[in-house]
Amino acid sequence: MTAFIILTAAEADHVRGPTTPPAALDPIERQGGAFILPVAVLADPAHAMHHDFLAQLPTSTLDDPAFPAAIDQE
């Protein structure tokens, strides 16, 4: 099961944007003000500038009942 890093809005703002060209991070907003990024970004050298920060944040998987739900798209 794919694991995700769970971020607050402030943490998402901290990492959002270009890293090593042409790469960028764009956390996905979920319900409750949470944002997610795949844990795989920690293994991508393009995002090395954020590895230490992101590695300290909580992670979760889609099968976790506490995983933040998607925002309803109408």
Provide the pLDDT for residue 34.
97
54: pLDDT strictly greater than 80:
yes
Residue range 18-45, pLDDT digits in tens = 999 999 999 999 999 999 999 999 999 9
3-state class percentages of the chain: helix first, strand second, coil last, to nearest 5: 35, 25, 40
Mean pLDDT of the chain: 95
Got the DSSP string for 13-52?
HHH-EESSTT-EE-PEEBGGG-EEEEGGGGG-GGGGGGHH
The pLDDT confidence band at residue 74, using thresholds 50, 70 and 90, is low
